[in-house]
Structure 1
Amino acid sequence: MLVYPRIGVTVKSGLEEKSHAIAEILAILRSINAQIFFDAERKNDIPETANLPSYTSAGDIDLLLVIGGDGTIGFLAEIELHEAAKILPSLLSGSGVIEERSILSIEALRGQEKVFTGYALNEAVIAQGTIARLVDLHTKVKGENLTTFHADGLIISTPTGSTAYSLAAGGPIVHPKLAATILTPINPHSFSQKPVVIPSEYEVEITVASKTNKFQDVQVILTIDGQVYVPLQSGDTVTACGCGKTVRFLRRKQDTFFGTLREKLKWGE
């Protein structure tokens, strides 16, 4: 008997051509009588899914299955395709464990107007969007001035995001069970400006400094998890704070973080 009978399915962007993988996963789900709901925004690009019903909200499904992993390295990917026929039915029948990952609450303010509100599982990034030029970001933590980052940008990440863009920018790897937020400057002009790890409940406030030269109208971009893009103006403020909310992941077994680091980062090879 399935513990998760209603399965939402989506495909990582750029993998629509992996029709054999999609067909194999769908066949496995049908073999165990799972109800399949496909991502409405993607199904028209994938012939194998054209006749499937779509999910429109989290309430429509019990679990979301992502084909193609979660990023360049795939730290959150749980099953390889060659083992899906064996592992997937077992997981959906209740053999797995639930792992919760914290997320950030993000707001962008223009004066009193909210120009964006949402959540980030990995990170929020503030950076110049149209020209290779440093940006000044006035940064406060819990109301106290931290510094003005003179850099290509600033990454505000969760522990989950610490192995993503933040890691590439020189940030630390933080265990996902820690309640922390990581501030990682991107190519800072000052060598002394290093990544900072703070308690997740501390609110971070970043204000885009005004420019007084010919580049004053150059756009700054807020990017959420590499998916949502918000144009910012001088004087706009972005706030980020751990909100106590989590995303739940179905895992084969508990606490495989260090094994995943060894495997994905090829430590010891």
Structure 2
Amino acid sequence: MEVGIVARKGSERAVALAEEVRDAVADTGATVWVDAETATALGEPAAGRAVEALADCDLAVAVGGDGTFLFVARNAGDTPIVGVNLGEVGFLNAVSPDTAVEAVIAEVEAFARDEMAVREAPRLAAEADEWTSVPAANEIVIQSARRGPGAGIDYEIEVNGSRYAGGHADGVLVATPTGSTAYNLSERGPLVHPAVNGLIVNEMAADDGMPPLVVDADATVTVTVEGVEEVVAASDGRNTATLSAPVEVTVERTSPPMRIAGPPSNFFEALGKLS
């Protein structure tokens, strides 16, 4: 078995915990490594590997917050991920620092018995012409190059070929249930329990928009944009592309889904940390 570990960048606590987990996994006889930045923080730069190698592992461990988990997920492909939460809200990271070693070793042992339980969460991808976005665990956002007074886009939204809404707004957001607590929430979108098999369509600061809509997870959402020369499409707020308008952007569920190992998080307990 091979286990890859990534600690939150710039966090001494995360790095120290990653080292503790690494040593415990090594004691089981499994192959274990840390990413290059974590290895450098440990004073062992030669021992680190590129995060892309997570896709070839049997288990990935993210030590930090939900942002660290998403960073790991972007590089892990379909490798199951255990998230260790260091005090953040923790919708994705269900393991506490005090139980991190125990939880990861439990997954290593479950793998050896061929009994690792893995949950799946959907990811989205956007397409336009010959461009395809980086898969998103939280949301795809389509907006103009600038926001605020006098900015925005003229758009029309279709769901499975039927018109849902249109007009002028800062942008359009399509989110997974995982992403319902992220950017979608700040744009007054609904909270969606992770057990719900759906996607959220949310117009961002629309002049005369419709209420946010939850559609089937296999729905095709098409956003046609006019009124600007360029459109910015963003995946989880980090991976952006600038597209020439007018343009038709299609957002759909993509493979592989995000795969989560370890104990499940308590959605309602995590919600309490938002207030």
| Bin of the TM-score, shorter chain as denominator length | 0.7 to 0.9
Q: Give 1:86 shift.
A: 3.8
Q: Please tell me whether the aligned partners of residues 24 and 101 of structure 2 are also in contact (alpha carbons under 8 angstroms).
A: no
User: Letter of the aligned partner of 1:257 in structure 2?
Assistant: F
Look up the match of 1:185.
203
2:274 to 242, 265, 268: 265
Kindly indicate whether residue 222 of structure 2 is the aligned counterpart of residue 205 of structure 1.
Answer: yes
User: Letter of the aligned partner of 2:49 in structure 1?
Assistant: S
Look up the match of 2:62.
66
Look up the match of 2:35.
39
- Alpha-carbon displacement from aligned partner over 1:111-161 (angstroms, at most 9, x marks no partner): xxx122442211101122235312112211111222214111111011111
Which 10-residue stretch deviates more, 26-35 or 169-178? 26-35
Q: Give 1:96 shift.
A: 6.7
1:29 to 22, 34, 40: 22
SS in 2 for 1:178: coil
SS in 2 for 1:88: helix
1:130 to 146, 150, 163: 146
Q: Give 1:43 shift.
A: 5.1
- Alpha-carbon displacement from aligned partner over 1:183-219 (angstroms, at most 9, x marks no partner): 11111111x521011112221111111x3xxxx44x4
1:241 to 252, 265, 270: 252
1:211-230 matches, cutoff 5 A:
211=227, 216-217=228-229, 219-230=230-241
Which 10-residue stretch deviates more, 131-140 or 160-169? 131-140
Q: Please tell me whether the aligned partners of residues 116 and 230 of structure 1 are also in contact (alpha carbons under 8 angstroms).
A: no
1:90 to 84, 96, 106: 106
For residues 138 and 261 of structure 2, the distance between their equivalents in structure 1, rounded to whole angstroms, comes to: 18
Q: Please tell me whether the aligned partners of residues 70 and 76 of structure 1 are also in contact (alpha carbons under 8 angstroms).
A: yes
Kindly indicate whether residue 246 of structure 2 is the aligned counterpart of residue 250 of structure 1.
Answer: no
Which 10-residue stretch deviates more, 96-105 or 200-209? 96-105
Q: Please tell me whether the aligned partners of residues 89 and 270 of structure 2 are also in contact (alpha carbons under 8 angstroms).
A: no
Closer/same/farther in 2, CA of residues 49 and 75 from structure 1, 3 Å limit: farther
Q: Percent identity?
A: 27
Q: Please tell me whether the aligned partners of residues 7 and 18 of structure 2 are also in contact (alpha carbons under 8 angstroms).
A: no
SS in 2 for 1:251: coil
Q: Please tell me whether the aligned partners of residues 5 and 22 of structure 2 are also in contact (alpha carbons under 8 angstroms).
A: no
User: Letter of the aligned partner of 1:249 in structure 2?
Assistant: I
Q: Give 1:220 shift.
A: 2.5
- Alpha-carbon displacement from aligned partner over 1:27-85 (angstroms, at most 9, x marks no partner): 33213314233335x45763545122415344521112122121474311122324324
For residues 57 and 31 of structure 1, the distance between their equivalents in structure 2, rounded to whole angstroms, comes to: 21
RMSD: 2.5
SS in 2 for 1:120: coil
TM-score (norm 2): 0.78
Q: Please tell me whether the aligned partners of residues 19 and 48 of structure 1 are also in contact (alpha carbons under 8 angstroms).
A: no
User: Letter of the aligned partner of 1:205 in structure 2?
Assistant: T
Q: Please tell me whether the aligned partners of residues 138 and 179 of structure 2 are also in contact (alpha carbons under 8 angstroms).
A: yes
1:5-16 matches, cutoff 5 A:
5-12=1-8, 16=9
Moved over 4 A (4+): none
Structure 1 spans left out of the alignment, 5+ residues: none
For residues 138 and 126 of structure 2, the distance between their equivalents in structure 1, rounded to whole angstroms, comes to: 12
User: Letter of the aligned partner of 2:119 in structure 1?
Assistant: E
Look up the match of 1:168.
186
How many equivalent residue pairs?
245
Structure 2 spans left out of the alignment, 5+ residues: 68-87
Closer/same/farther in 2, CA of residues 97 and 48 from structure 1, 3 Å limit: farther
Question: Which of the pair is proportionally richer in helix?
Answer: 2
1:195 to 197, 201, 212: 212
Q: Please tell me whether the aligned partners of residues 17 and 63 of structure 2 are also in contact (alpha carbons under 8 angstroms).
A: no
